[in-house]
Structure 1
Amino acid sequence: MTVRVLFLSEGTSDQGLVSHVEGIAADLGVPVAVSAPDLRWLRIPAGHSVIDKLRTTRDMGGAYDLAVIQRDADRGAPQDRRTEMANAVGEVWPGLAHVPAVPVRMLEAWLLLDEQAIREVAGNPRGRIPLDLPKAASVERVADPKQRLKDTIATASGCKGRRLTELHQRFPRNRHRLLDLLDRDGPVSEVASWRTFVAELSAALRAVAPGRSS
């Protein structure tokens, strides 16, 4: 039986995590069908809450065995996000199993560790300019991972002038590509928030998959 997974992300650019949810499930031998609805066309206000997303998705119909909910910790405590998600599910969709995906501070922290992938998306795969990437143990303490990633891609590219301006304009696309290239067994596997996400998702998939509760 296929496990029906609902994926709700903080933004559409984070939906690249869907392939990793599918990959983690495949590693476990659990067949999944992941739905990641784009709620923008429903005109939900920007910055809408987890509870709004859940309520809207529930009202659209459909049945799910598990929800994966992604929201960055930003500058707050990760537990605050986890509590927000648990309360929202309890109020809107009682009984729906859920897994929080809470990058610290931002999802970009998970993308800041793979030097070769960064050089690839920067368009300079054989570049040798030092990138001074953070270590896995400290990446969650980077004050602004998004800006750090943007600056790192620029450094890796070696671009200047108009080419650099064009590269900055492609940052959302390059970020998405980095998420696609994310090696689940690579440096990110040493980051605490990623390890927690993988462990909790794996446990939830085993729990909801028929015949795999042990």
Structure 2
Amino acid sequence: MTTRVLFVGEGSSDNGLVPHVESIAARKGLGVSITVPDFGLLRLPTGHSVRDKLRVARKLHGAYDLVVVQRDADRGPAQDRRDEIEEAVCTEWPGLRHVAVVPVRMLEAWLLLDEACLRQVAENPSGRVSLDLPKGAAAERVPDPKQLLKDSLARASEYKGRRLTQFQKRFSQHRLRMLELLDPDGPVTCLPSWQSFVKDLDQAFETLNG
């Protein structure tokens, strides 16, 4: 039986999490079909909150066994986001099992730990310029991991002038690619937020498979 999963992220570059959801399901021997609505293209009225997105997705009359919702913790406690997601699902789609994915502070913190991947996406895999990236749990204490990732990609590329400007305009694509390439067994495994993502998804799939 195929497990039907709805994925709701904060933006389209978060869709790089989808292959990781698929691989975790595969380890459990589950086949999954993942739907990723493009809320920017839908003509139904929608805001940016989790509740708004779930309300719109439900109006499309899809049937799902699980919804995976990604929401950055930003500067607040991760538990606040978990509570927000749980309340939104219970209100807009009661009875639907959910998994909350809450990176601390932002999803970009997960990407700062893989220097080889960053250099590859920066189109300069053999580069030697120093990046001074955070190590281990320090990635979750970076005040603005998104800006640090942008700056690190630019530095790693070693591009200058107009070429650098054009490269920086593609940040959302670079972020998506880095997320797709993220090694699920690599340095990111030291982060509690990643550990929670894997554990919660494992448990959800085990329950659905039972």
**TM-score of the aligned structures, taking structure 2 as reference length:** 0.96
Work out whether 1:19 is the aligned partner of 2:15. no
Q: CA deviation at 1:46?
A: 7.6
Aligned runs of 1:34-183 on 2, under 5 Å? 34-43=34-43, 48-183=48-183
* Letter matched to residue 126 of structure 1: S
Partner of 1:4: 4
Q: CA deviation at 1:3?
A: 0.7
Q: CA deviation at 1:54?
A: 0.9
- Verify the 8 A CA contact 2:105 2:145 in the aligned structure 1: yes
Instruction: For 1:46 and 1:148, locate their aligned partners in 2 and report how far apart those are by CA, in whole Å.
Output: 31
Instruction: For 1:119 and 1:54, locate their aligned partners in 2 and report how far apart those are by CA, in whole Å.
Output: 36
Instruction: For 1:84 and 1:10, locate their aligned partners in 2 and report how far apart those are by CA, in whole Å.
Output: 14
Instruction: For 1:170 and 1:91, locate their aligned partners in 2 and report how far apart those are by CA, in whole Å.
Output: 37
**Length, aligned pairs only:** 210
* Letter matched to residue 82 of structure 2: R
Instruction: For 2:6 and 2:13, locate their aligned partners in 1 and report how far apart those are by CA, in whole Å.
Output: 16
Instruction: For 1:196 and 1:167, locate their aligned partners in 2 and report how far apart those are by CA, in whole Å.
Output: 33
Q: Which runs of 5+ in 1 are unaligned?
A: none
Q: CA deviation at 1:148?
A: 0.2
Instruction: For 1:92 and 1:74, locate their aligned partners in 2 and report how far apart those are by CA, in whole Å.
Output: 24
* Letter matched to residue 144 of structure 1: D
- Verify the 8 A CA contact 2:110 2:188 in the aligned structure 1: yes
Secondary structure of the corresponding residue to residue 137 of structure 1: helix
Secondary structure of the corresponding residue to residue 81 of structure 1: helix
Instruction: For 2:90 and 2:49, locate their aligned partners in 1 and report how far apart those are by CA, in whole Å.
Output: 14
Q: CA deviation at 1:23?
A: 0.9
Q: CA deviation at 1:42?
A: 2.6
Q: Which runs of 5+ in 2 are unaligned?
A: none
> What are the Cα deviations for residues 120-168 of structure 1, in whole angstroms up to 9, with x where unaligned?
1111111111111101211111011111001111111112212211211
Instruction: For 1:75 and 1:44, locate their aligned partners in 2 and report how far apart those are by CA, in whole Å.
Output: 31
Instruction: For 1:181 and 1:54, locate their aligned partners in 2 and report how far apart those are by CA, in whole Å.
Output: 28
Inter-CA distance 48–17: structure 2 relative to 1 (3 Å threshold):
same
**TM-score of the aligned structures, taking structure 1 as reference length:** 0.94
Q: CA deviation at 1:67?
A: 0.6
Q: CA deviation at 1:41?
A: 2.0
Secondary structure of the corresponding residue to residue 124 of structure 2: coil
> What are the Cα deviations for residues 30-84 of structure 1, in whole angstroms up to 9, with x where unaligned?
1111111111123567852111111111111011111100111111111111101
* Letter matched to residue 182 of structure 1: L
Instruction: For 1:87 and 1:154, locate their aligned partners in 2 and report how far apart those are by CA, in whole Å.
Output: 39
* Letter matched to residue 143 of structure 2: A
RMSD of equivalent CA atoms: 1.3
